């Protein structure tokens, strides 16, 4: 790990990020990544709190996917995907109860 990544990670730790989260964000920043996707609610909340100080967006994969995919889909396509996902998850009998 180079000194710049280490220094940035230490700065992020001072903001309250946990050590590995800080390192993850620092590496993403140094790599000029556009976004870091995480399901870690604590990391998401901390990133939201300090978003103006970060040089990379930190988002939930689900929120990011909705922003990326949804604008390209029609309402009918979104509904079809939702019904297909529910059917797969619940099975035919579960789907009948759901509807």
Q: Note whether residue 66 is domain-resident.
A: no
Are residue 48 and residue 28 in the same domain, yes or no? yes
pLDDT of residue 61: 82
Provide the domain limits for residue 18. Answer: 1-59
* Same-domain pairing of 85 and 40: no
Burial (0-12, 13-18, 19+ Cβ within 10 Å), 58: buried
What is the predicted pLDDT for the residue at 57? 94
Q: Answer yes or no: do 32 and 79 share one domain.
A: no
Number of domains into which the chain is organized: 2
Evaluate whether residue 64 is within a structural domain. Answer: no
Question: Tens digit of pLDDT for each residue in 6-30?
Answer: 999 999 999 999 999 999 999 999 9
Same domain for 9 and 55, yes or no, is: yes
**How far, in Å, CA of 55 to CA of 79, rounded?**
35
Q: Which residues of the chain have pLDDT under 70?
A: 69-71, 75, 78, 86, 89, 94-99
Closest CA to 46 of 72, 75, 13: 13
In terms of domains, do 53 and 93 share one? no
């Amino acid at each position: 790990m180079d000194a710049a990544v280490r220094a940035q990670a230490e700065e992020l730790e001072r903001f309250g990020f946990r050590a590995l989260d800080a390192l993850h964000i620092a590496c993403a920043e140094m790599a000029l990544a556009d976004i870091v996707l995480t399901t870690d609610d604590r990391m998401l909340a901390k990133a939201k709190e300090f978003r103006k100080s970060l040089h990379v967006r930190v988002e939930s994969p689900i929120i990011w996917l909705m922003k990326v995919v949804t604008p390209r889909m029609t309402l009918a396509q979104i509904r079809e995907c939702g019904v297909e996902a529910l059917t797969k998850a619940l099975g035919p009998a579960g789907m009948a109860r759901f509807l």
